[in-house]
Chain A
Amino acid sequence: MHELAITEGIIEAAVPEAERHGAEKILEIRLKIGELSGVLPECIQEYFNIASRGTIAEGARLSVEKIPITIHCNRCGYDGEIPKRKIHCPECGSAEIKLMSGREYYVDSLEVE
């Protein structure tokens, strides 16, 4: 059910911004989604198609760019990407790490006309 909350969030983020730019129609909404966030883009499009009816976002395509999980290791200073299943420093094995990216969920840009 929370896909619906997220879909409404996308529309709330996109529509006023497009209107502020005088757009008549939103063609595409580009999302950036971190690998650690558990939302399925396929589901979102289905919900979006329903929730956007009657708005200038109706019929828009959602495109998703995935953002990899990157960390900074507080012990050895490693900066870089790590796989989803092992949230450890790949260099020294420390768990004292700071998550730098991977939990994002935002609207990056719109294509409008």
Chain B
Amino acid sequence: MEIKIVKQILEWNEDVSKQVADLLSEKKVCLINVMGSPGAGKTSLITDIINRLRDTFRIGVIEGDIAGQIDADRIDKMGIPVVQLQTDGACHIEAMSIQHMLSYFNLDEIDVLFVENIGNLVCPAEFNIGEDMRIAILSVPEGDDKVEKYPLMFATTDALIMNKYDMLPYFEFDDARVERNVLDLNGKAKVFRVSTKTGEGAASFVAWLSDRIAAKIKV
């Protein structure tokens, strides 16, 4: 006997993702999902954004890691509200975890909430977490073939940050190829060349980000 069911496998995640997005719209909080490999510079990018935007917006951070809380400690030292989310082995963050973590923040006093996703180019892209935008980071030492190898992450991102751009002379990394491949997958993506170490390129990225955040939270 055949039974027709037509049931989304990740339906629970999509449902909760929508609830998170609705709550954050009501509270006028912009949720930003930051994704990239381990070591690409996710935490450094977030701390750099905090330094540049902390006088403009009230910022909070959810730090996702498989184990430990090194990154959360780094943010906490800056005096920014931060919650560590330990996935205990899982390769991604689900909307349910974000929904739970939101209760640790006073959302009336937050304008923008960054989620640092698990370092991984594959799984996090599959799970919406109620975000307003996605930022993908690819660092020069990782190689210029990653967009072709991990298309979903780059097809769904709003911005691609090519980080460690100051390392370009030392690696076989064709940044034009990366940009071309991202735009082929995702014509709406904005591409930025940044070094979180030297600060190169960060100002134009943060200006773009600031406009996007302001558009979301404006009264």
Contacts and interface: CB of A to CB of B under 8 A. Distances in A.
B79 interface: no
Interface in A70-84: 84
A110 interface: yes
B91 interface: yes
Contacts of B20: none
Q: What 10 A-B pairs have minimum CB-CB distances, sorted nearest first?
A: A95-B187, A9-B9, A13-B7, A1-B91, A2-B123, A110-B3, A106-B8, A109-B4, A86-B184, A38-B152
A17 B11 CA distance: 15
Q: How large is the interface on B (under 10, 10 to 19, 20 to 34, 35 or more residues)?
A: 20 to 34
B8 A23 contact: no
14 contacts: A1-B90, A5-B90, A9-B9, A13-B7, A17-B7, A38-B122, A38-B125, A38-B150, A84-B151, A86-B184, A94-B187, A104-B8, A107-B7, A110-B5
Scoring A13, A84, A94 by chain B CB atoms within 10 A of each residue's CB, the highest score goes to: A13
Contacts of B12: 9
Given A2-B91, A107-B5, 9 more contacts: A2-B92, A9-B10, A13-B5, A38-B122, A84-B151, A87-B187, A96-B187, A106-B6, A111-B3
B176 interface: no
B125 to A, nearest CB: 7
Nearest to A109: B4
Given A36-B155, A39-B126, A112-B1, A105 B8 contact: yes
B199 to A, nearest CB: 30
Given A87-B184, A88-B187, A95-B187, A112 B3 contact: yes
Given A36-B152, A86-B185, A87-B186, A105 B10 contact: yes
B101 to A, nearest CB: 18
Interface of B: 1-12, 89-92, 94, 122-123, 125-127, 148, 150-152, 155, 183-188
A21 B126 CA distance: 31
Contacts of A1: 89-92, 123
A101 B187 CA distance: 18
A10 interface: yes
Nearest to B181: A85
A39 B127 CA distance: 12
A56 interface: no
